[in-house]
Amino acid sequence: MQKLIECVPNFSEGRDPNIIQQITVAIAAVDGVSLLDVDPGASTNRTVVTFVGSPEAAVEAAFRGIQKAAELIDMRKQKGAHPRMGATDVCPFIPVSDVSWEEAIECAKSLGKRVAEALRIPVYLYEKAATDPSRSNLSIIRAGEYEGFFEKIKQPAWKPDFGPAVLNERSGATVIGARDFLVAYNANLNTRSVRRANSVAFDVRENGRVKTEDGMPTGKKVLDASGEPVRIPGMLKHVKAIGWYVEEYGIAQVSMNLTNIAETPLHAAFDACSEAAAQRGLRVTGSEVVGMLPKKCLLEAGRYFLRKQQWSEGASEEELIDLAIRSMGLSELKPFEPKEKVIEYRIEAAAGKSLVKMNLRQFCNETLSDSPAPGGGSVAALMGALGASLGGMVANLSAGKRGWEEQLGYFSDWAVKGQQLKDELLFLVDEDTAAFNKVMAAFGLPKDSAEEKAARSKAIQKANQYAAEIPLKVMETASRTYELLAAMAERGNPASISDVGVGLLATRACIEGAAMNVRINLSGLKDEKVKASLQEKISRLSAESETRFKNARQTVEGKL
């Protein structure tokens, strides 16, 4: 896997497109970095930038962005609705693929040290990179904002992790860290009142509100034994929220940061705001995502709304995302484009051409052309995806069959598994071709010197092994489809039994075809131990396939 880390710096400028462009150009100029999103806000006077790259490239790009912001943004003149303490207010690193927390934390620390030394900007570390647990929370660090930090930074407890204990008048201070995905999410209200929006925010945020004797915001605070105000917790864990008025939209919003989307997902925040608003005679009219978000946020939301509708959750990725967008009104203020807002889609787009994005005719034309890829391995994986799709289709049809409502959960679970298998096999369609291309690239390496020959030979062996492992993965994945197809043969809608049969044939063909592709790549391997291990696996998987195919087909034939 390629090492990828996401970086999401927030710059305290959202109104001047020239400044924003200069900052983003500086970031995008770094080799190995993909600029995914630039999201400016005029009322907040803040721009959220999202990019990904290798850890080394991401640190370099972040530094260049911070450097350019320090040059162009004067905090002495900056005003906006969003809390802030510096020209680059916050700069978190988020692991995406094959990057450990230790590596992410090292990115934060190395960047913080460089920013402090080169730019004379005080730097605080937060979240997982924090050196002091009491300073891990961004809102605690930022309390007092730019204006209050001139005195705050002089306190021993607020000595920066890097840089001088004197605020940089022009650039302020910067918070750098390593964290989980944070989703910036705003719920739109049918009011212009910031006070009423704040009431909803206090209802939902984890920190809740201060308890008063008469229950009114202006009432006398209730204190605990230590003299601290007693707080009434909000509805949601891992949510920070405030209310504000957005002039360009003419509405008030509940502005939230969801800091743990595994425990408090997007749809939970939407429902909580809807419930709290309704109790106050308000209505959530829609919502918006600021910056980018992981695909799983929308997939989980789509499944959640299908469950509320008492319908099968075995919908495609595209259907789930569309349902999530519509259900939460993500396009109310401006069109929500998944290709632009979902981080995985932006990474895929940056990666270039994909076979599975072609239509059927294009795929067949590409296969039929004089290019050796895509070849049998990719076609085998596609047949496996079609077999899983047919099994999932029968599950969905059975889940929606009138009179079978009591079995909805059973068939919905199988339909979800069908979607997962289909997606895994479609990924392997592209990966098999990518593996072949790696073999060709290895053969194209120079071989003039002894060192070059040795490096080329090593690269060829590595590429050949990978080219054998991918079709083996196709076999293993497709084998799991037999369980789905067997269940549908036994209990699925009998009117679709022929679809189960075709799914079985496609799955068997996939496994046999993938086995051939493993074997042809074994011939190029010199490591006999690896060859023997792979050969044993394909023999076992092929034998298991024949047995499972025959058993399930017997059920199909009996019902036909």
Give the DSSP letter of residue 185. E
Express as a percent the part of the chain with pLDDT over 90.
84
If asked whether residues 447 and 549 sit together in one domain, one would say yes
- Spatial distance between the Cα atoms of 536 and 282, rounded to a whole number of angstroms: 65
Residues annotated as catalytic are 82, 432
If asked whether residues 403 and 500 sit together in one domain, one would say yes
- Spatial distance between the Cα atoms of 52 and 494, rounded to a whole number of angstroms: 49
State yes or no: pLDDT of 353 exceeds 80: no
If asked whether residues 160 and 215 sit together in one domain, one would say no
- Spatial distance between the Cα atoms of 408 and 311, rounded to a whole number of angstroms: 7
The pLDDT assigned to 352 comes to 66
333 pLDDT tier (thresholds 50, 70, 90) = very high
222 pLDDT tier (thresholds 50, 70, 90) = confident
Q: Which two tokens stand for residue 177?
A: 């860290």
> Element (H or E) spanning 39, and its range?
strand 33-41
* Number of other CB atoms surrounding residue 332 within 10 Å: 16
- Spatial distance between the Cα atoms of 112 and 109, rounded to a whole number of angstroms: 5
If asked whether residues 174 and 192 sit together in one domain, one would say no
If asked whether residues 372 and 335 sit together in one domain, one would say no
State yes or no: pLDDT of 158 exceeds 90: yes
Domain hosting 363: range is: 353-559
If asked whether residues 160 and 23 sit together in one domain, one would say yes
- Spatial distance between the Cα atoms of 266 and 328, rounded to a whole number of angstroms: 9
pLDDT digits over 257-311, tens only?
A: 998 898 999 999 999 999 999 999 999 999 999 888 889 999 999 999 999 999 9
Is residue 172 within 8 A of residue 235, CB to CB? The reply is no
- Spatial distance between the Cα atoms of 120 and 168, rounded to a whole number of angstroms: 7
351 pLDDT tier (thresholds 50, 70, 90) = low
Length of the chain: 560
Q: Residue 208 — φ and ψ, nearest 5°?
A: 60, -135
State yes or no: pLDDT of 452 exceeds 80: yes
Give the DSSP letter of residue 461. H
If asked whether residues 193 and 79 sit together in one domain, one would say no
Helix 55-72 to helix 101-119 angle (10° resolution) is: 30
Q: Which two tokens stand for residue 51?
A: 């990019």
Number of domains the chain is built from: 3
Region for 220 from its dihedrals, namely left if φ exceeds 0, alpha if ψ lies in -120 to 50, beta otherwise = beta
Indicate the pairing of strand 251-258 with strand 183-189: antiparallel
If asked whether residues 507 and 546 sit together in one domain, one would say yes
- Of the residues 344, 361, 390, which one is the last residue of a structural domain? 344
The pLDDT assigned to 274 comes to 98
If asked whether residues 278 and 330 sit together in one domain, one would say yes
Average pLDDT of the chain is 94
Task: Look up the CATH number of the domain holding residue 278.
Answer: 3.30.70.670
pLDDT digits over 77-101, tens only?
A: 999 999 999 999 999 999 887 899 9
Task: Look up the CATH number of the domain holding residue 46.
Answer: 3.30.990.10
Is residue 146 within 8 A of residue 172, CB to CB? The reply is yes
Q: Which two tokens stand for residue 318?
A: 């595209």
If asked whether residues 325 and 435 sit together in one domain, one would say no
Helical segments of 9-156, H only? 17-28, 55-72, 101-119, 138-142, 145-152
- Of the residues 312, 344, 376, which one is the last residue of a structural domain? 344
The pLDDT assigned to 216 comes to 77
Q: If 0-12 CB within 10 Å is exposed, 13-18 middle and 19+ buried, where does residue 277 land?
A: buried
- Mean of pLDDT values over 33-62: 93
* Number of other CB atoms surrounding residue 251 within 10 Å: 19
* Nearest by Cα to 125 from 144, 105, 143: 105
The pLDDT assigned to 126 comes to 96
- Spatial distance between the Cα atoms of 500 and 321, rounded to a whole number of angstroms: 27
- Of the residues 320, 344, 368, which one is the last residue of a structural domain? 344
Buried b or exposed e, range 9-37, using 16+ CB within 10 angstroms: bbbbbbbeeebbeebbebbbebeebbbbb
Give the DSSP letter of residue 314. -
If asked whether residues 375 and 471 sit together in one domain, one would say yes
Q: Which two tokens stand for residue 48?
A: 């959220």
157-163 CB contacts, 8 Å cutoff, 24+ apart: 160/116, 160/122, 160/123, 160/124, 161/112, 161/123, 161/124, 161/125, 161/131, 162/112, 162/113, 162/115, 162/116, 162/117, 162/122, 162/123, 163/115, 163/116, 163/117, 163/120, 163/121, 163/122, 163/123
Higher pLDDT, 346 or 361: 361
pLDDT digits over 453-507, tens only?
A: 999 999 999 999 999 999 999 999 999 999 999 999 999 999 999 999 999 999 9
In sequence order, the β-bridge partners of residue 489 are none
- Spatial distance between the Cα atoms of 87 and 59, rounded to a whole number of angstroms: 18
Identify the residue whose tokens are 């008048």: 169
Is residue 474 within 8 A of residue 388, CB to CB? The reply is no
* Nearest by Cα to 277 from 203, 347, 384, 170: 203
Helical segments of 73-219, H only? 101-119, 138-142, 145-152, 194-204
If asked whether residues 274 and 361 sit together in one domain, one would say no
- Spatial distance between the Cα atoms of 111 and 113, rounded to a whole number of angstroms: 5
Give the DSSP letter of residue 230. P
